[in-house]
Amino acid sequence: MWIWLGGDGVEAVLKPEKFPIEKIYVPVKKRKTLNTGVVQEIAESILQVGQQAPILVRPDEGRYVLVEGLHRLEACRALGEETIIGLVVSAQVARQDPVLPADAHADAERQKTERLRKLRLEKEAAEKSAAEKTSPKTEPAAQPRERAERHVQNKLKATAGRRNRDNSGSATTLSEWFAQQERDGNRY
Mean pLDDT for the chain? 75
pLDDT band at residue 78, thresholds of 50, 70 and 90? very high
User: Which residues lie across from 58 on neighbouring strands?
Assistant: 65
Q: How confident is the model at residue 110 (pLDDT cuts 50, 70, 90)?
A: confident
Residue 5 has pLDDT above 50, yes or no: no
Average pLDDT over residues 149-166: 56
- CA 19, CA 67: separation in Å to the nearest integer? 14
Distance, in Å, from the CA atom of 14 to the CA atom of 172, rounded to the nearest integer, reads 90
157 membership: H or E segment, kind and range: helix 144-166
Strands 55-60 and 83-88: parallel
CATH node for 2-116:
3.90.1530.10
Write out pLDDT tens, residues 111-151: 777 888 888 888 888 888 888 877 665 555 555 556 666 65
Is this structure's pTM higher than 0.75?
A: no
Q: Where are the beta strands (DSSP E) in the chain?
A: 2-5, 11-14, 17-20, 24-25, 55-60, 63-68, 83-88
Say yes or no to pLDDT of 65 above 90: yes
Distance of CA 45 to the CA centre of its chain: 13
Give the pLDDT confidence score for residue 167 in this predicted structure: 46
Q: Residue 71: what pLDDT? A: 93
Tell me the C-alpha distance between 98 and 5, whole Å: 7
pLDDT at 156: 58
Residue-range domain boundaries for the chain = 2-116, 144-184
What percentage of the chain has pLDDT greater than the value 70? 62
